[in-house]
Amino acid sequence: MLLLWRDGGLTENAEQSFDLTDRGLMLGDGVFDTALVVNGRIHRSSYHQSRLLAALRALSIPVAPERIAQAYDTLAEAAASRKISRASLRLTITRGPGPRGLGWPATPQPSFIATLAPLAGTVAFTPLTLQVSIIRRNETSPASRIKALSALDAVMAHHEAIMAGCDEALQLDTTGNVACAATGNLFLIVNGRIVTPATTQAILPGTIRDLLLGGVSRHGHAIAESIVPWADVEKAEAVFMTNSLRLLAPVSRIGDRVFASATHEIILSLQDFLRGDIEQECGAPVTTSGCGL
Amino acid sequence: MLLLWRDGGLTENAEQSFDLTDRGLMLGDGVFDTALVVNGRIHRSSYHQSRLLAALRALSIPVAPERIAQAYDTLAEAAASRKISRASLRLTITRGPGPRGLGWPATPQPSFIATLAPLAGTVAFTPLTLQVSIIRRNETSPASRIKALSALDAVMAHHEAIMAGCDEALQLDTTGNVACAATGNLFLIVNGRIVTPATTQAILPGTIRDLLLGGVSRHGHAIAESIVPWADVEKAEAVFMTNSLRLLAPVSRIGDRVFASATHEIILSLQDFLRGDIEQECGAPVTTSGCGL
């Protein structure tokens, strides 16, 4: 079941009247955000909303913050009233319909599409294997630092990983430094020290990444933000990926390199920290079994 | 007026029933192609169709060639019956609807959207100014060699150029070599010799580019395909951009560098060649005034 929201109305029917000249569809001209809903509450709601507004500003797509809050509130309430224990909330905002060509419409009318999908319990905290993609992240592109609708590179990198028998792609930037996974931020543990690519690199400022960096006083593990050369992967004792839905996934393998990440004490400790944070913010634990219904 | 075609039906109403989980809209997961229609005939129709099929293969989107031919035929006939003398035909094909996430649907049902828009006569052959974009073309991305729906980089580069008082963006690749304009191929004339980036570079194999390269015996001007360093721009005596609708646009300025391209005899000669080719294939000249209605 998928629940869809557009400009006030909720429906389970994905087929809707839509202007097919919309630049989201024609040119990937828009952004999205994906958040975890537990117990009818959005984890890190204000960070998600701030990040989405920053992405819209980066593309000069004019949207009032209240419209975003309204979409989030409506779908969170829908999850609560339907007793969906865990769900993925996706909000998509495009520059709206426009004439032929790349040029922006004079008075853009951004389109909003929000969806709520129940989430399997197996998504959170489950270990992953990564394949290094031949597709690099383009650090000169604004799309490398936002969740852009123009996501074809991530789609193709992910598929390449699946074909190689892995779960997800690891992307370097065009200079060969480590950027991120196709759907999450990467952290390495090297000589007991946690390091992650800085936001000056071709990465999305992830919600869980931000929570871990800001929560040092609560979880007790210092995290360095820096340029991460490939050599750090070769030296790493453990690796993990974070995103809003998987939360903190230990990386058990990158290509042929095997890591005992799932049993690493720092990783277990950070997973406990996240469980506690979610339970505190959402009023219920994120369970790791069953489905979200 | 915009004429829209979907799975057999023609309409002037851009608002249509559409599955909002379509991956074209959600992830920019699809391709498009834009062709010139003159006198109800598509210029370089078979090249356009071959290129679109190659792009679909690059993304493993399964589409029967007959469906593409049918879309082209239907809109070409519509242009003829409505006496639209010049039009832009855009065919958009996505991987179709899918569940949440990057993973491909098991049995994709690609979506087809084709549009026909009358074209102003001022589009063809008109000189352009270019601004060098800070956004590089990513030569490791499959999207750099096809007309991907994930076009946000081109959208942003184009807007950057408009804000700088230019008509269009010139993009280098991430190594600093010349790639192309946001919407067309680039050619430099250096010491009387024409050079253009090879298809091994981060460029689309453009329809007019292909016509010029294959037409040497008819127009008499050799064209070298190679890696084009920025230094070649500094040495160039003239520059031009090609695409299906602008055909061959002399570049009068790149940033602060001024070029007397519009009066360069090679450029005038190649424009004449293109006028002749279109008249021969479409049975009518491409006029450069008025609008396409």
pLDDT, tens digit (0-9, with 9 covering 90-100), for B160-203: 999 999 999 999 999 999 999 999 999 999 999 999 999 999 99
Show contacts of A253-258: CB within 8 Å, 24+ apart. A253/A129, A253/A130, A253/A166, A254/A129, A254/A130, A254/A131, A254/A132, A254/A170, A255/A130, A255/A131, A255/A132, A257/A233
CB neighbours of residue A280 within 10 Å? 8
Measured CA to CA, the distance from residue A67 to residue A59 in angstroms comes to: 17
Q: Which residues of B77-101 are buried (b: 16+ CB within 10 A; e: fewer)?
A: ebbeeeebbbbbbbbbbbbbbbeeb
Interface of A with B in 116-135 (CB under 8 A): 117, 134-135
What is the location of CATH 3.30.470.10 in chain A?
A: 3-119
Q: Do B15 and A14 touch (CB under 8 A)?
A: no
> Residue A8: is its pLDDT beyond 80?
no
- Residue written as token pair 């991987």: B95
Q: What is the pLDDT of residue B136?
A: 98
Q: For residues A118 and A290, is the Cβ–Cβ distance under 8 A?
A: no
Residue A291 scores a pLDDT above 90: no
A110-160 confidence digits (pLDDT tens)? 999 999 999 988 899 999 999 999 999 999 999 999 999 999 999 999 999
Looking at chain A, the domain(s) classified CATH 3.20.10.10 span: 128-282
Task: Report the pLDDT value the prediction gives residue B291, as an integer from 0 to 100.
Answer: 66
Q: Token digits for A85?
A: 């224990």
Q: What is the pLDDT of residue A6?
A: 82
Residue B1, pLDDT score: 62
Please state, in angstroms and as integers, the Cα–Cα distance from residue B277 to each residue in A265, B32, B76, B213, B273, following that order.
70, 24, 18, 13, 6
Q: Which two tokens stand for residue B78?
A: 């519509």
B291 touches chain A (CB under 8 A): no
Does the pLDDT of residue A290 top 80, yes or no?
A: no
Distances (CA, A) of A229 to A202, A223, A233: 13, 16, 8
Question: What mean pLDDT is predicted for residues B70-74?
Answer: 93
- List the single residue in A18, A150, A159 with the smallest CB-CB distance to B20: A18
Chain A residues in contact with B152 by the CB 8 A cut-off are 27-29, 59, 141-143, 148-150
- Phi then psi for B49, rounded to 5 degrees? -70, -40
* DSSP assignment string, B168-206: EEEEEBTTS-EEEETTBEEEEEETTEEEEE-TTSS----
Contact assessment for residue B21 and residue B261, using Cβ atoms and an 8 Å cutoff: no
Task: With beta carbons less than 8 A apart as the criterion, state whether B56 and B133 touch.
Answer: no
Q: How far apart are CA A64 and CA A85, in angstroms?
A: 29
Structure confidence at residue A31 as a pLDDT band (50, 70, 90): very high
- Alpha-helical (H) ranges within chain B are 23-27, 45-58, 65-81, 152-163, 207-214, 216-219, 230-235, 265-282
Radius of gyration of chain A (CA): 19
Q: Give the pair of three-digit tokens for residue A111.
A: 């389109």
As a whole number, the mean pLDDT across chain A is 95
Q: Tell me, what's the pLDDT at B9?
A: 81
Contact B178, B230 (CB under 8 A): yes
User: So what's the pLDDT on residue A4?
Assistant: 86
pLDDT score recorded for residue B71: 93
Alpha-carbon distance values, A276 to A219, A249, A269 (Å): 10, 16, 11
Asked whether A249 and A261 are in contact (CB, 8 A), the reply is no
Cα separation, A142 vs B230, whole angstroms: 23
Neighbour count for residue A192 (Cβ, 10 Å): 10
Interface mutation vs chain A, best among B141, B183, B204, B245, most A CBs within 10 Å: B141
Mean pLDDT to the nearest integer, A165-173: 98
pLDDT in tens, A67-96: 999 999 999 999 999 999 999 999 999 999
Task: Report the distance separating Cα B214 and Cα B61, nearest Å.
Answer: 29
β-pair type (B193-197, B223-226)? parallel
- pLDDT score for B3: 86
Least confident of A91-95, A187-191, B6-10: B6-10
B126-137 mean pLDDT: 98
Chain A interface includes B156 (CB < 8 A)? yes
Of B216, B220, B217, B224, nearest in space to B194 by CA: B224
H or E stretch covering A33 = strand A30-38
* Mean per-residue pLDDT, B106-133: 94
pLDDT surpasses 90 at B57: yes
| Alpha carbon distance B132, B151 (integer Å) | 17
Nearest to A135 among B20, B102, B141 (CB): B141
Q: What is the mean pLDDT of chain B?
A: 95
What DSSP state is assigned to residue A191? T
With a cut of 80, say whether residue B292 has pLDDT above it: no
Number of helices and strands in chain B (H, E): 8, 16
ipTM of the complex: 0.97
Length of chain A: 293
Split at pLDDT 50, 70, 90, the class of B286 is confident
Q: Which of A90, A141, A173 to mutate against chain B (most B CBs within 10 Å)?
A: A141
A-proximal residues of B, 24-43, CB under 8 Å: 24-29, 32
Q: What is the rounded distance in angstroms from the CA atom of residue B180 to the CA atom of residue B178?
A: 6
Per-residue pLDDT of B23-43, as tens digits, reads 999 999 999 999 999 999 999
CATH 3.40.190.10 assigned to B3-119: no
Q: What's domain A128-282's architecture? A: Alpha-Beta Barrel (3.20)
Contact list, A20 vs chain B (CB under 8 Å): 4, 6, 14-16, 18, 113, 115
Q: Which residues in chain A touch residue B28, judged by CB atoms under 8 angstroms apart?
A: 27-28, 148-152
Is B141 touching A (CB cutoff 8 A)?
A: yes
- Rounded to a whole number of angstroms, the distance from the CA of B226 to the nearest CA of chain A is 21
Lowest model confidence (mean pLDDT) among A52-61, B11-20, B141-150, B157-166: B11-20
Please, which residues have CB within 8 angstroms of residue B85's CB and are 6 or more apart in sequence?
B38, B39, B284, B287, B292, B293
Which residue of A123, A139, A152, A244 is the best one to mutate when testing the B interface, meaning the one whose CB has the most B CBs within 10 A?
A152
Is residue A1 predicted with pLDDT exceeding 70? no
Q: Are A251 and A196 in contact (CB under 8 A)?
A: no
Residue A141 is given by DSSP the state S
Please give the pLDDT value at position A216.
97
For B242, the enclosing helix (H) or strand (E) is strand B238-243
User: For position B182, what pLDDT does the model report?
Assistant: 97
Q: Are B153 and A148 in contact, with CB atoms under 8 Å apart?
A: no
**Cα–Cα distance between B285 and A173 in angstroms, integer?**
47
| Residues B238-254, mean pLDDT to the nearest whole number | 98
Pick left, alpha or beta for residue A283 (phi over 0 → left; psi -120 to 50 → alpha; otherwise beta). Answer: left
Model confidence band, residue B5 (pLDDT cutoffs 50, 70, 90): confident
Percent of chain B whose predicted confidence (pLDDT) is above 90: 92
What is the Cα–Cα distance from B293 to B291, expressed in whole angstroms?
Answer: 6
| CA-based nearest residue to B198, from B211, B209, B184 | B209
Element (H, E) at A193: strand A193-197
Taking residues B6-14, report their average pLDDT. 83
- Rounded to a whole number of angstroms, the distance between the first and last alpha carbons of chain A is 10
